[in-house]
Amino acid sequence: MDYKQIWAGIRSMYEDEGALEGKIRGEHLGSVIRLTPYAMAANIGSASLMLWALQDLRSIGLYLWYTCMLATACVAMQRWRHYAHRQLQTASRRAARRATWHASILAVLWACLPVFWFASVTSGQQLLIATLFTGMLSAGTFLLSPLPRASLCYASIFTAAALWALWDAGEPIMAGVAGLMVFYAPINMVGAISSWRKATALIISRSEAVRQEQLLSTVFRDFEQSANEALWEIRTNGMLAQASARLCTLLRLPPAHAPSTSLPEWLAQHAVRENDAFSKILDQQAPFHSLPMALEIHGERFHLAFTGKPFKDEWGHIRGWRGVVADKTSIVQAQEQLERLAHTDSLTGLANRFFIHQAIAEEMQAGRGGALLLIDLDYFKTVNDTLGHSVGDAVLQEIAKRLQTASAPTHLMARLGGDEFAVLMRQSRDGSYPLALAQRQAQILAEALNRPLHMEGRRLRMGASIGLALFEPGDTDVDGLLVQADTALYVAKDAGRGRYVAYTPEMGERNQRKARLENDLREAIQRREMSLHWQPQIDVSTGRLCGAEGLLRWQHPELGAIAPTEFIQIAEQSGIIDTLGAWVLLQACEAAVHQPALAGLDVSVNVSALQLRDADFVTVVQATLLTTGLAPHRLELEITESVFIEDPARALQQLHALRALGVRIALDDFGTGYSSLSYLSQFPFHTLKIDRAFMQKAGEHGCGHTIVKSIVRMASDLGMRTVAEGVEAPEQLALLCEMGATQAQGYLWSRPCSAEAFAALRSKWDQGTAEERVPMRSEAP
Ligand code: C2E
Ligand code: CA
Ligand code: CA
């Protein structure tokens, strides 16, 4: 026994003001008070017995003693009644001290008995007193043990009084009794203190348990109320043990079914994927953390995360599992939403470029074949520019809808940006994607997209060109596939819009050549690879040389002569056309002023629709005329009908501005593309150039003849000159003459030729050597 610790414990119980000490005091005091009636009954009974046994003494002191005894018992009972119906939670230090005093007073009262009367009574009475005194000593000490100071004071007073009385008796035998007393009393005290210690330890551990329980219940209450979490517990057979309401809510499990539900089975039944994930993790018989489970019940998709560990009995056998389940639905949904946003095009809801790229890569990695369609809307830019962006957006949304309705569920539709869309056609089986199937789908899409759109009461023809490329199992180059589809798309656009084209390797070569030409074209002017050739224009009625058309030539150092039809298109697509066109204009004007061969002749320069769209074009023409000093009426700009497709109003405005400069405007290739006669009435062209194709048809007779004839008449009615292109045969010339065409140009006189060759031609012409090649000339004056 550690006495220091025991004394400190007793001191603390009596002196410290802490809640625990108060509680210990309260409990101990309560247990003593509860026994008060029995103790007082014993006291009064014993005191009465003594009064009876010692009645022959007839001592007033004895009666007085007895009265005091009764009074003390009454006071004690009074206190008992005060506390009887109360559960003492705590007791003050004063109350504990008062108990010590009460015990001491009682002990002093009993001590009077041997002190005053032991020596003077008979040995029989002495035996009675000693027996009763010993009994009262041990019973009292034990009864008061919860209050150690009271118990010790009580025992000490009893012992001291006994020893005093034995000594006072003066008989040798009493020394033996005293010896016994000295031995007996401390044992009583030690027993009392030990019992106090045990009781105190019990009180402390009980209050600690209560405190923990309170703490836990607060924690659990908070936990169940605040978080989207619940506790779960299952037995080894998987059956739920004590499922809380919250757990049932989280599991979407009717509470009535909970006791008969196996958690692993419930989860397996409703798991969206990996049905056995929970069972598997239990099999590992180890703690696990945040096991995600995606579940679906009655169409509601929700996400839970399970954390848990097995619990074991005292022999180490697993008795079940318990842990926490958290509802992660909102978090998962937010994540999915974010992912969707990163993967979808916000305007149409289709996949975006990034996502389809990834999807193609996945198909390739899985070793499957597939097909990719790239779709480009033909007239979207016009709609967007003329009707505004909101209509443009609505068009794109409608197109997306059409794509979706026309595609199979396994297809992935994406908007790559602007008016470009893509469809990835996936297949479940291995092997190549059948070309015929892909083509059929492309055809379906082309038809769906070519159907007119109805927007804000307007009927819009959108049209779409489609490029198709296949990838084979084993292919890994996503970018390569996109380039192929893009190449096919360009071919489709070139071939006239509104159709689909499947990629072929030859297109790849074309594409490479195109890329190379585009690259080389940027430096062709500086490298002096460009030159302007001239083709003479003849006055049909007089046979006189009246003008020359400047035609651009590119002599590539490695690839040789490149056809203007090829490189002009590349220049237009790559934006080089403005620079190139300005250079041609400058060359033509300078030549017209400085080359003797062109003296007195009109010069024609071809102008691309894209050049005309450039806001600075009029300024460029004006500046060129100024710097070269060419008289504006000698310059004719040849434009094609395509300038009116995108923005007719703007084109007309530009043309009027050019006309105001004094230059002449010719409508080139009339009769080929869009041939709307309405343009002719809207803008006063100086010249109408009848396309070569018409001349061929006119030569073959039939309706071509009639058409050319009526075009020529109409032009002359509108005050325009007509220039017939591609006149190769004298018969054609005769026909033109008969129809009344103004001018002609063609191989009949000369192919387009270099400035030197043209100079030679001119001098020959002027000397009249060209006479034989110009049959009409002889008839001219
Ligand atoms: P285009 O403006 O219609 O030019 C007439 C084309 O017909 C020229 O082809 C010319 O060589 C060809 N040609 C002339 N007479 C005959 C003939 O009797 N029979 C046949 N079969 N063909 C004949 P070229 O030089 O190959 O030019 C093709 C096109 O390239 C031109 O068609 C024009 O649209 C464009 N182009 C040429 N130079 C320029 C330029 O400087 N700027 C722009 N924007 N386009 C140009
Ligand atoms: Ca031309
Ligand atoms: Ca032409």
State yes or no: pLDDT of 344 exceeds 90. no
Give the DSSP H or E segment for 59.
none
Tell me what pLDDT residue 616 has.
Answer: 93
Q: Who wins on pLDDT, 3 or 363? A: 363
What is the torsional sign of CA 268, 274, 278, 280?
positive
Assess whether the C-beta atom of 531 lies below 6 angstroms from ligand 1.
no
For range 611-632, the mean pLDDT:
95
Assess whether the C-beta atom of 585 lies below 6 angstroms from ligand 1.
no
Tell me what pLDDT residue 779 has.
Answer: 31
The half-sphere exposure of 332 on its side-chain side, counting CA atoms within 13 A, is 13
- How does pLDDT run across 214-225, given as a tens digit for each residue? 777 777 766 666
* Ligand whose nearest atom lies closest to the CA of 726: 1
Question: Are the beta carbons of 406 and 444 closer than 8 angstroms?
Answer: yes
Confidence class for position 701, pLDDT limits 50, 70, 90: low
**What's the whole-model pTM score?**
0.48
> How many angstroms separate the alpha carbon of residue 689 from the centre of ligand 3?
6
> How many angstroms separate the alpha carbon of residue 245 from the centre of ligand 3?
85
Atom number of ligand 1 nearest to Cα 611: 44
Pairing of strands 743-744, 530-539: antiparallel
Tell me what pLDDT residue 242 has.
Answer: 80
Q: b or e along 290-311 (b: 16 or more beta carbons within 10 Å of the residue's beta carbon)?
A: ebebbbeeeeeebbbbbebebe
Q: What is the mean pLDDT of the chain?
A: 88
State yes or no: pLDDT of 336 exceeds 60. yes
> How many angstroms separate the alpha carbon of residue 703 from the centre of ligand 1?
25
Which of 304-318, 323-337, 446-460, 670-684 is predicted least confidently?
A: 670-684
Tell me what pLDDT residue 781 has.
Answer: 30
H, E, C per residue of 159-218: HHHHHHHHHHHCCHHHHHHHHHHHHHHHHHHHHHHHHHHHHHHHHHHHHHHHHHHHHHHH
State yes or no: pLDDT of 282 exceeds 80. yes
Q: Who wins on pLDDT, 773 or 596? A: 596
Q: Which residue among 577, 603, 606, 687 is best mutated to probe the pocket of ligand 1, counting the most ligand atoms within 8 A of its Cβ? A: 606
For range 526-551, the mean pLDDT:
95
Tell me what pLDDT residue 778 has.
Answer: 32
> How many angstroms separate the alpha carbon of residue 249 from the centre of ligand 1?
80
For range 741-761, the mean pLDDT:
95
For range 330-338, the mean pLDDT:
76
Q: Which residue among 725, 728, 732, 745 is best mutated to probe the pocket of ligand 1, counting the most ligand atoms within 8 A of its Cβ? A: 725
> How many angstroms separate the alpha carbon of residue 549 from the centre of ligand 1?
9
> How many angstroms separate the alpha carbon of residue 752 from the centre of ligand 2?
11
* Ligand whose nearest atom lies closest to the CA of 551: 1
Confidence class for position 263, pLDDT limits 50, 70, 90: very high
State yes or no: pLDDT of 503 exceeds 90. yes
Tell me what pLDDT residue 678 has.
Answer: 65
Burial, 580: exposed, middle or buried (Cβ in 10 Å; 0-12, 13-18, 19+)? buried
Tell me what pLDDT residue 699 has.
Answer: 61
DSSP labels, 581-608? HHHHHHHHHHHHHH-GGGTT-EEEEE--
Q: Who wins on pLDDT, 667 or 641? A: 667
